[in-house]
């Protein structure tokens, strides 16, 4: 059962990730990314990290990707031409090869060693919300606070950027008197 789930999720994750890059229609690319993220959450579940699995679904599939879907289905037409080949386009394969090399090294160096072992011992309550919360507020307090600070800055910045564009004030005025036709 666990093996079956693992291979289904692994194929889903890799297939989804490939489809993101290979599909021409941006809307389907975004959907493939959603599939990839869901498969990842199944993998988290198999690693006894239920909280992480749920957080992955709620935050990525439920919030981040919803915005992607929102934007792509509004503005992203399938018939839009790709951007002209610039410097970034030419450098992309180089970065891809370097990344592949780095990951191969990492996998060959560490991950493959765990083959045929039982893996790390799980202490009781591993991956439970209580334990993650305790870790976040004790051992990883500083990164946690910095991340929350960063998110607050991003939220305030987003509001400021949206405010600066004209049009929002007018919408607010309309909501006041109920005069929408």
Partner 1 sequence: MTAAAATIAAPVAEVGFNEPVLAQILIAVIVFAVMLQLVPMLLIAERKLLGRFQGRYGPNRVGPFGALQPLVDIVKLAAKEDFAPRTASKAVFVIAPVIALFTAIATTAIIPFGDTRSDGLFGADYGLYGIDVSIGILYAFAFGAIAFYGLMLGGWASGSKYSFLGAMRSAAQLISYELAAGLSLIGVVMMSGSLSLTAIVREQSDMWFVVPQFAGFLIFTIASFAETNRAPFDLVEADAELVAGYQTEYGGMRFASFMMAEYMNMITFSGIATAMFLGGWHGPGPGWLDPFWVLAKMIGFLILFIWVRATLPRLRYDQLMSFGWKVLVPLATLNLVVTAILVVAL
Which one among 85, 88, 142, 180 touches partner 1, defined by CB under 8 A? 180
Nearest to 126 by CA among 113, 117, 135: 135
Distance in Å, CB of 9 to partner 1, minimum: 11
Contact between 9 and partner 1 by CB under 8 A: the answer reads: no
* CA pair distance 94, 110, nearest whole angstrom: 24
* CA pair distance 165, 181, nearest whole angstrom: 24
Burial of 53 (0-12, 13-18, 19+ CB in 10 A): buried
Helix axis angle for 26-46 and 65-75, nearest 10°, is: 170
Q: What residues from 127 to 146 belong to the interface with partner 1 (CB under 8 A)? A: 127-129
Q: What residues from 101 to 130 belong to the interface with partner 1 (CB under 8 A)? A: 127-129
Distance in Å, CB of 132 to partner 1, minimum: 10
Q: How many residues bind partner 1 (CB under 8 A)?
A: 34
* CA pair distance 29, 60, nearest whole angstrom: 15
Contact between 53 and partner 1 by CB under 8 A: the answer reads: yes
Q: Which residues bind partner 1 (CB under 8 A)?
A: 1-2, 5, 27, 31, 34, 38, 41, 45-46, 48, 50-51, 53-55, 57-58, 61-63, 66, 69-70, 73-74, 127-129, 171, 174-175, 178, 180
């Amino acid at each position: 059962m666990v093996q079956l789930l693992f291979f289904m999720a692994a194929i889903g994750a890799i297939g989804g990730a490939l489809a993101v890059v290979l599909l021409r229609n941006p809307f389907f690319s975004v959907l493939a990314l959603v599939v990839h993220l869901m498969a990842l959450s199944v993998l988290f579940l198999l690693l006894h990290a239920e909280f992480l699995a749920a957080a992955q679904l709620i935050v990525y599939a439920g919030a981040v990707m919803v915005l992607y879907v929102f934007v792509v289905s509004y503005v992203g037409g399938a018939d839009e031409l790709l951007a002209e080949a610039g410097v970034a386009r030419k450098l992309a394969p180089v970065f891809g090869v370097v990344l592949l090399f780095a990951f191969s090294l990492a996998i060959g160096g560490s991950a493959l060693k765990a083959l045929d072992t039982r893996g790390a011992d799980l202490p009781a309550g591993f991956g439970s919300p209580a334990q993650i919360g305790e870790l976040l507020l004790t051992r990883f307090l500083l990164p946690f606070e910095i991340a929350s600070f960063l998110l607050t800055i991003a939220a305030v910045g987003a509001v400021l950027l949206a405010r600066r564009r004209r049009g929002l004030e007018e919408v607010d005025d309309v909501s006041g008197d109920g005069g929408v036709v």
